[in-house]
Each structure stands twice: as structure tokens, then as C-alpha cells.
Structure 1
Amino acid sequence: MKIERVTGRLSLRRTIETGTEEQRRAVQNIIHDVRTHGDTALKMYTEKFDQVTLDSLLVSESEIEAAYKEISAEMLAILREAAANIRDYHERQKRESWMTTKEDGTILGQKITPLDAVGLYVPGGTAAYPSSVLMNVIPAQVAGVKRIVIVSPPNKQGTLPAGVLVAAHELGVKEIYKVGGAQAIAALAYGTETIQPVDKIFGPGNIYVALAKREVFGQVAIDMIAGPSEIVVLADETAKANEIAADLLSQAEHDERASSILVTPSMKLAIEVANEVQKQLETLPRKAIAAASIAQYGAIYVTDTLEEAIAVVNELAPEHLEIMASEPMHLLGQIRHAGAIFLGRFSSEPVGDYFAGPNHVLPTNGTARFSSGLSVDEFVKKSSIILYSEQALQEHGAKIAAFARLEGLEAHARAVEERFK
């Protein structure tokens, strides 16, 4: 890993991918085809991109049963325990509708209503992601969403990974479709003969999925445009190089574009971590992916002081931040920008990815400066409640009419004054 002394602002600034013009046109054509030809287009693109011909898009009961036979009893118990932890955490995020009554009889409030239907995109490709199922479905269920749809690209055998199917079935999801890519996003947004449209789409994917989500935004809501995974480790001289290296590589193996960064005031630790990363890379099954990630987007920034290191972290605004220092809790208050914060050497990032309970769907590309991780709030909408009393309107009507006339909206003013004639 390259080591860089930091004396001012960082030169590193990751940009959100917008795709090429050719990619955008391809996505627009796919969406048009799905809107026009429905299931026929979905099956055609599945055959083209996934090299499999499907008779049915909907996952069958027999496929679910086969998936359970692939999962050990031990793994099933772990999955269930993780789901319970995630549900417990998200139950604490629930909002309640509320109303308040003023002395003049006015009633004001807020009504919390779950979305009617949401769609979850589960990526395929080089890995299977049952954890994505848990992290997206559970907060939707806690929020009270009644219809949850999962879409995911099938493998060459025309099935989905066993872990994904078991996780979905454990949570009671009935609609699981074997379709991926931009065509799946189009189906969720506009509907086909088989897949009814949803109100909001969640989940990461490749550049074509990201571009499709951009295209359909407005027809439906979307969660975010997810970028490659990121980890930043903030460490002092007390941290252990082998543990930091392992955590950096845990993100590097996700994707060749993933970003793994150490920020420390200790040059000794920086050198040890750089050496340890190269050593641990040699035995990784996904060595090629992790090595490319480290070469392109890995870095070690060395500052003069711990305070300067914290400033670098806040500038990076990482998706995942680990604080591996002698007193990590003492530093927490100084962190302003991070999607999730892991405190101490026993809070390795995968603890949050799979088991602890907080959501692992987090802001990337520095967007932790202004956004948060996935929560129950993303699956509800909030309606204001206003019941103005006659007394209140008598008292404030003239002020409201005056405000309306300030904006040149005479009809607004008259709508209030009409009550007093």
C-alpha cells in the first residue's frame, strides 16, 4: 500500500459514477423494452445477460426447499440469530404518529404511514448476499410495509443462491423473482404481467442497475445510488497492524473499486500495516480482486498528530470507520462524518455487516457528510395533520392573509377571509 504524509487537504476525492453515454442509452433502451413488452423482455434480457432461459420468473416452492437442503443447521441458526439482532435494533427506530392540542382548540400532528410496496434488488455476480436480504427486508417489516418484493439475477442453472432464498423465506417474503440488471429495476418501477410495480426501490447493483435507478426516479422513489464499499481505520500507535490489515482487506475483497484507507499519526504502524497487507493478500481466495482494490484505491495517510488524523477522517466521510485507539470512546464526539462507527479492536467491520444489528446499507462516496444509513424511516412517509379551530383562525386569519398578499397570491388571502363573511 502506498504511504503518504498528509500536511494539508487530501487530493483524494472519489466521484459518483454517472456512466458513459453508451451505458445510459443501453439502460434507457432496456427500460423502454420492459415497459413495452413486459415479461417477454425480462426473459429475453435474462437469456442475453445471464445465459439462462427461464420458464417462470417467480421462485418456486421446490427451489426454496432445495435451498434449505444446502444450508446446514448451524448456519440456519446463525442466520436466525442475526435476523433477531437486526430486528431488535430496528424496532428501536420506530416512529409513532402524534397529535397535540393547543389551548385555542387547534390540533396539530404527524401521521406515520408505511409504504404500500417496496422492491429489493439483491446483487448476483461474484458473491451471494443473504445479509442484504436481512438488512433491507427487516426494517421494511418493522415499518409495517405489507408487500416486499425481491429481485436478483439467476445463475447459469436458473436459480438463486441458497443463502438468499433461505434468508428471504425465513422472513416470510413471498415474491422472489429471478431477474436482475436494469430490466429488474424497470419491472419494479413500471410493472409487467408477472411483477406488479412498487413504490420504492432499495439495494445496490452494478453500473447498469445504478443508472436504471436514476432513470426511474420520480416514477418511484429510490434509496440511494450506492458506490463501491469503503473503510477507513483511524489508529494510534497502540493498534495492531495484523488486525488493521485484515480489516482493510475485508473491504478490498468486495470489489476492485473498493476503498481501504488507514489514517494514523504513527509512521511505524503505517509501515507495519503496509507489509502486513501484502502478506495477508497472498492467502486470500479473492486475492486478484483485493489486490486490484488495494493498488488502485488503498492508501495509508500519516499525519503529525491524532487531531490531524481525525480531521482527515472527517474529510473522507467514510462509509465504515473503525477507531482503533487506546481510548476510542473519547474520540467519538470528534467524528462528524461517517456512515457507521466501530469502536475498539473487537468491533471489526464484519461484526456490523452481519450480526450486531445496525444496518449495513450505508452512504458511500463521501455522502456521509449529509446522509445516513438505511433505517425504518426510509420505509415510511409522514403526513402533517392540521385542525385549526375557529378561535385560532379568528386570531391569526388577518396575519395569514397578509402573508399571502406579500407573495402576490390574492386567492390565498381570500380563502381565509371568506370564513369571516
Structure 2
Amino acid sequence: MANNIQAIRGMHDVLPEQAPLWQYAEHIIRDVLGAYGYSEIRLPIVEKTELFKRSIGEVTDIVEKEMYTFEDRNGDSLTLRPEGTAGCLRACLEHGLLHNQVHRLWYYGPMYRHERPQKGRYRQFFQLGVEAYGMAGPDIDVELILMIDRLWKKLGIRDKVRLQLNSLGTIAERALYRETLVSYFQGHLDQLDEDSLRRLATNPLRILDTKNPAMKEVVANAPELMAYLGDDSRNHFNMLTATLDDLGISYELNSRLVRGLDYYGKTVFEWVTDELGAQGTVCAGGRYDSLIEQLGGKANHAVGFAMGMERLLALVEMLDTVPVARPVDVYMIRVGEKAEKEGLRFAETIREEIPGLKLQVNCGGGSFKSQFKKADKIGAEYAIILGDDEVSRGEVGIKSLRHEQEQQTLSQPQAIAFFKEHLQSR
């Protein structure tokens, strides 16, 4: 007998009992995004590999180690998207959405990175991405932070996360800082791990983001980028923090926050938590004005963020207060040839009369007793009982499965009225 085929390591199923938590969070996310005037854009999962090499950077961990890349039958190099910003920007450039226009967009779906699977880190993971184009000032940076803050409050996890901020300045400012940083680390080569030695020649700012505790001291003593910022970058950041202060949004300044993608400049931020062990970043983003030109567009302004759903849901699940919707409100029990036919017709009438009611009809036969067991197991609140006798009288039985109440016999119109009164308002 053949062995059962298992899911690919790091690519997990969301089972029916887990789906309500996802639906709950997704519903709140959509409401919050709508409240700020953001529109949904739906993007392909597969893009040309060159898109990610040009946007993320060829010497980043994502491009060097983590992308799922393959050749299709035409010999083109394609990649399962490891993040969404590049694809969103590609779509906007391709369809002419950035010419003298302002856009606030969001997307949602699976991303793919070949990493070591662990709690909160998967090879297929779901991500919410939000992007805003055409706005230069720090006010749009603030709006994104306010929107995330509102989302935390709606989900009930505001006290479990904290905001960290930094500025990466411009490309020219980072180039000057890079020289100083490389010089500093070259004087401490004996304290650098293998990854950091490699990054010293390719992407030295990423050394500041190391998670190696043995390098904590050498990183803490490194020169800070903030000292190399020009007036424009400094003013942008000062206006951002001053506005957050006025609005009562608390934050921490983190001079070592650099983000893992090459395209960021000026504002960068992360929302982090201490509740999930090593996987502490729940949401991260910042400005990436230079990326539009890197992908062939005219100079423009862009800022956005990404949020990993698995980590977000792990936080929400800790509350144990998520209102889980009952999968089925009413279960229809049918016994008898006439009842089998009439039940399907009457079920359609109920669905027409009471939109949103969750009604499941027993299929596959079975005795009254076995069907009642199914109704109870599935969690239905009420059972509709329909036998051939009830059909001949135009009646149904109504039985509460969650409360001590006598079974009622009602006409079909009365049964519809009963469910409208007891269940429609939910």
C-alpha cells in the first residue's frame, strides 16, 4: 500500500477549526483598511526573477538563499514571490497608475521563502501588504502607523506590541555612513561571525541587524547612521516623531533598525513583541522612494508595510477572547422519501428568506437518532425535524440543541418567522 503524501515541510494547512480565527482577523483588517480609504489590488504569485533581484538586492539573504526560483518551459527564470512590494509596484508601473496620481493600495496572500521552518516562520506564509504612492511628506508615514495602531486596538493586542523607529536617510547618506561602518568593523574582525564577515563586503548595514548575542557589544559600539543624515532626512524624521508625540503614539528609537531589503530609505519602522520568542517582528515597513526608478519608472514617492498573518494570529490567539462564529446555526434532519425531497426545497426557501443563516441539510440518510448526533457534533444551535408525517401536514419540528426547551411543532411559515426572530440579528 502506498504511503500517504504529506504536505511540503514549512507549508501548512489551515484546518476548518482554525479557519474562524483567520476569518475574524481578516474581517477586522478589511474594515480598518477601508476606514482609511485603501483599495485592494490582487497580484500574481509568480513573477520574473529579475524583478526581485533588482528590487530586493542580489546580495540580500532573500535573493541569495531563500527564493523559490525555477525555469519554465520557455526557459524564463521565474520566482514564487518572497514579498509583495516589488510585484505591487511592477503592476502600478505596467498599468500606468503612478503618473501624476496618488494611490493607497493593499494586497493579501501567500509568500514563499526557503527558510528553516519554526514557530512563526514558514516557507509558505500569508502576508498583508499596504503601499501608498505619490506622497512625499511624513504625514503619510504617520497615517500608516496610525492605521496599524488602530488595527492592534481592534484586535485587542495593543499592549502586546511596541513601535520601533529609525531613519536610513538617502542613498548618498548611507554610502558615506557605509564607509565609516566598514572601517569600524574591519577593526573588529575577530568579533564578527561568518554571516557578518560575508556581509561586510556586500551589505554591511545588515550586520547591525544581527541576532547573534555574541556580537551585541561590537554592534552596540558601532557608529550610528543618524549622525550622517542631511537636513532633509533629519527634518523628515523629526516631523514624523513630533507628529506621533502630538497624537500620543508611543515609540522607541532604534538606531540599529535597518530592515532586510535594500530599497528602504528615510523612515523605517517595526512593530515588535516579546510574546513570540525569537520571531518578535509582527509588522514592518518604511519608505522606498528610490525603488520606483530602480524598476524603470520616473522618480516618485512610496511608503508601505507588510504584516505576517501567522505571527499576528499567534498573538490574537493568546487572548482567548476571539468570538468564534458557530459553523452551523440550524441542522435539518430528514427521514422518509417525501421528507428527503421536501427538505431540500424548504431549505432553499429558508435561505432565501433569511440571508446569512447557516443551515446545513443532512445528506446520506440515517435514522433520527444518528442525524441528531451529527447535528450536536457539528455545533448547531437548532435542529429542524422533517419526516413524511410533517410533510403531509406542512409542518416541521424545531428542537433547541443548546438549551433545555420543549420541542415545538410549527408550520413552515411559522418556522421561518421563528428563526428570523431568534437568529437573523446575529
TM-score tier by shorter-chain length is under 0.3
TM-score norm. by structure 1 comes to 0.26
